[in-house]
Structure 1
Amino acid sequence: MKNADISAPKAAVLGLQHLLAMYSGSVLVPILIGASLHFSSEQMTYLVSIDIFMCGVATALQIFSNKIFGIGLPVVLGCAVQAVAPLILIGQKFDFQTMYGAIIAAGLFVFLIGGFFAKLRKLFPPLVTGTLITVIGLSLIPVAFQNLGGGSTAAKDFGSMTNLAVGAFTVLLILAFNVWGRGFVRSIAILIGLIGGTVLAGFLGMVSFAPVAEASWFHVPTPFYFGVPHFEWSSIVTMILISLVSMVESTGVFFALGDVVERKIESEDLKKGYRAEGLAVLLGGIFNTFPYTTFSQNVGLVQLSGIKTRKPVMFSALFLILLGLLPKIGALATIIPSPVLGGAMLVMFGMVAVQGIRMLQQVDFHNDKNLLVAAVSIGLGLGVTTQPEIVQALPETLQLLFGSGILMASVSAVLLNWIFNSKTPQPELETKDGLNEKDE
């Protein structure tokens, strides 16, 4: 089946697969922030619904490329998890309006500096990009295992045989359909694993339909739902710094997807990609939801499915918008148990890491300088990810930055590569077949 020939029904099913892969991670952000800031049940209902709606809008801004914004790759955007801690701090120290004012200012900042940031493309040769993608994938594996065990280490049944069995069944189902499946069935192996794992979990009494029963039927997005935004400088600076972290992470995802779909990513592409994210963050502040960023797990999904066109993601965007307007239907995706999600995440995040390793194959590791750049950067990235308490003595703002393994790996790789290789021409990232799009 050629990617260009994929039918609308099949693209819709693939789009549903993308949606389910990112849904829980994105919904988790408003739930965590809302619970920490003591939102009412009515406010929480709004928060989750508008979050899903804006995920669809943000995704559409990226995939429908034009001369001003949108990278035009099969990317899915969701709430930036790295924004959770700083937003809770801002909300607790000030108020909701200040929190959303900072988000609006950060979105405007990202949109305005998109062109400048894109000019730094030469700082991201295969050595840097491959290292970054490898760290992104490996640093997310603990998240997959936490879900595999039951979602929270504080849960009484965390690591229970039931949770592990359901997670293992999901992984085996995905592997079976990916290895022995053919054509379209093989491309939806993740979706089959999620559905099959949820069915098994249902028989074991692990599935609750309470979220569906409690959700309303229809919801209308409302700008400035929590009031007129307030703009406070320290909150704005904090969110701008977090946005820069997201931009670095998105840079790696853009290059990884470009490698998967065999398209060379130019500075112009990056500029439009950053601008789309800036618009998404800006709209998130206006509609009183949260910052959005490119989700890396969907890179592994594109790689696994083998479907490299934007059509499935277009359906994902449409589904997300509809689910945001119809909360009761949207709540159906929340019934998937954590062990099932953990099993699927394990496969997808592993694929992201391997994608980074494959990009590093283009690097000459007979050169000890290149070896050191990758070794130190991966070590720093994974070290901070597994031991974030190491930066607890730093000021809170610096903790938010240096506590990010992805940012640490990025800064390390860029700086060390610049120090060691600034006088040595670095090869540009090649596509799968060793050809850039313009060469074909």
Structure 2
Amino acid sequence: MRTAALGFQHVLAMYAGAILVPLIVGDALGFTSEQLTYLVGIDIFMCGVATILQVFHNRFFGIGLPVVLGCTFTAVGPMIAIGGEFGITAIYGAIIVSGIFVLVISQFFGKLVRFFPPIVTGTVVMIIGLTLIPTAITNMGGGEGAADFGSMANLSLAFGTLVCIILLYRYTKGFIRSISILLGLTAGTVAAMLMGKVDFSAIQEASLFHIVQPFYFGMPTFEWSAILTMILVAMVSLVESTGVYFATGDIVEKDLSEEDLSNGYRAEGLAIFLGGIFNAFPYTAFSQNVGLMQMTGVKSIRVIMVAGLMLVTLGLVPKVAAITTIIPTAVLGGAMIAMFGMVIAQGIKMLGGVISQTPGNAMVVACSVGMGMGVTVVPELFQHFPAGIQILTSNGIVAGSITAIVLNIVFNMKSKRVQQPTAMIDQKSA
């Protein structure tokens, strides 16, 4: 019973991050309530599968540490951009290929990580956070095309939710603070219910149980620019996970070998590949659960295995998934400001200790963020370039990331000293 309670605590700690990604992506792509319910359900299910793959250590995959996997927020902006341009099937084609890519490079990623020092990953994370803010602001007003966009009711719900999250984060500690986003969403939804702005039909229509279905949204399609985007997302996520691996290894007093890291990367690649097959998302190690372990002092792999099994079970119950889909868009927008702002803050934190290390680092950040945001705002800038080059220039995140990688090579790769990836221990999605 105690193990179950501790496992459920880990589920709560990561639940907001797990459900917000499908809610944001599904809302941006105009999903029906039925499609959104499936998307949330399969994401919860695959979070459990991915966690079990990572915890279940064997000679082929699994790092064997008490880590919880969830969908990376790094993928939100790119998935929305890909879905808007090529359709949802291109998202899953790109995810499948990126998963295969991670499986292929898992044995060698320890050597490739030198191309992704904190100056690069911090810049990429910051660009992704910045590109997401317009989506949050639009949702605060009630969502694009809403008849009551910007109404006092919508703004009250949005800012009320945001204030609730801020107060919880400021005046609580430990576990309550770690689920402040979840509590804020709950409070905002209750307020919206009292205002008559919550539609419960999705819960009533949802079934009690369903079987996961591969290619639920159709057979995947493959676009080069989408594939490159998701490969970059996967590389950044692996760097994030590396930090979580080392932090968790330190907590459980285990020295990680190169083989351990390769097994961990391989498990993530397998989780990403399966996510594409079952129309879920790319997965990465969640740092908020590391913080929960530090707070409780419980380091048992059995607890995390139970949490994974709970997530699998919850993902098979559509009514549970449907509960999250009734959250009004304005309430979601208020929470998204905090969530996406934390993504930007995480990028700034990663850059804080390294931006002044070499004279060129400031130029790496300046040009990369400028290029990333510029292409995002004016995507037609490179419309006359050959199609092969437009693969690298049609997406602001890709353009900014490529700029950061190239400029880091120009300014820093002459040095033999390799920067190590920064451990992302702060909450990146809860």
Normalised-by-shorter TM-score class: 0.7 to 0.9
Who is 2:376 aligned against? Answer: 385
Q: Pick the aligned partner of 1:323 from 292, 314, 317.
A: 314
Cα pair 1:130 1:359 within 8 Å, conserved: yes
Percent identical residues: 42
Structure 2 gaps of 5+ residues are 426-430
1:105-184 matches, cutoff 5 A: 107-150=99-142, 152-184=143-175
Q: How many residues align?
A: 412
- Report the secondary structure of 2:354's partner residue: coil
Q: Distance in 2 between matches of 1:105 and 1:213?
A: 37
Shift of 1:120: 0.9
Who is 1:292 aligned against? Answer: 282
Paired letter, 1:76 = G
Q: Distance in 2 between matches of 1:226 and 1:347?
A: 30
Shift of 1:213: 0.7
Q: Pick the aligned partner of 2:410 from 414, 419, 427.
A: 419
Shift of 1:373: 0.9
- Report the secondary structure of 1:368's partner residue: coil
Cα pair 2:121 2:236 within 8 Å, conserved: no
Shift of 1:203: 1.0
Q: Distance in 2 between matches of 1:112 and 1:376?
A: 31
Cα pair 1:115 1:271 within 8 Å, conserved: yes
Give the RMSD, CA atoms, in angstroms.
4.3
Q: Pick the aligned partner of 2:205 from 207, 210, 214.
A: 214
Who is 2:5 aligned against? Answer: 9
- Label 1:45 to 1:340 Cα distance change in 2 as closer, same or farther (>3 A): closer
1:18-417 matches, cutoff 5 A: 18-27=14-23, 29=25, 49-62=41-54, 64=56, 67-70=59-62, 72=65, 73-77=67-71, 80-81=75-76, 82-83=78-79, 104=96, 107-150=99-142, 152-222=143-213, 235=222, 240-254=227-241, 257=244, 271-287=262-278, 289-294=279-284, 317-363=308-354, 365=356, 367-393=358-384, 401-417=392-408
Paired letter, 1:245 = L
- Label 1:51 to 1:429 Cα distance change in 2 as closer, same or farther (>3 A): closer
Q: Distance in 2 between matches of 1:177 and 1:265?
A: 36
Q: Distance in 2 between matches of 1:429 and 1:99?
A: 28
Cα pair 2:165 2:181 within 8 Å, conserved: yes
- Report the secondary structure of 1:115's partner residue: coil
TM-score, normalisation: structure 1? 0.75
TM-score, normalisation: structure 2? 0.77
Q: Distance in 2 between matches of 1:172 and 1:34?
A: 28
Q: Distance in 2 between matches of 1:374 and 1:257?
A: 24
Shift of 1:387: 3.6
Paired letter, 2:21 = G
Cα pair 2:240 2:423 within 8 Å, conserved: no
Q: Distance in 2 between matches of 1:392 and 1:253?
A: 33
Q: Deviations over 1:176-218 (max 9, x none)?
A: 1222224433333222211111111111122111111111111
Cα pair 1:301 1:348 within 8 Å, conserved: no
Q: Deviations over 1:383-421 (max 9, x none)?
A: 333443434555777656534333323221221111112
Larger CA deviation: 13-22 vs 255-264: 255-264
Q: Distance in 1 between matches of 2:3 and 2:418?
A: 41
- Label 1:267 to 1:346 Cα distance change in 2 as closer, same or farther (>3 A): farther
- Label 1:9 to 1:241 Cα distance change in 2 as closer, same or farther (>3 A): same
Cα pair 2:249 2:256 within 8 Å, conserved: no
Who is 1:438 aligned against? Answer: none
Q: Distance in 2 between matches of 1:46 and 1:384?
A: 33
Paired letter, 2:16 = L
Q: Deviations over 1:9-50 (max 9, x none)?
A: 365245235223331422565687796xxx9x9888766644
Paired letter, 2:411 = F
Structure 1 gaps of 5+ residues are 1-5, 434-440
Paired letter, 1:26 = P
Q: Pick the aligned partner of 1:428 from 400, 416, 420.
A: 420
- Label 1:105 to 1:129 Cα distance change in 2 as closer, same or farther (>3 A): closer
Paired letter, 1:19 = Y
Q: Distance in 2 between matches of 1:319 and 1:63?
A: 14
Paired letter, 2:282 = Y
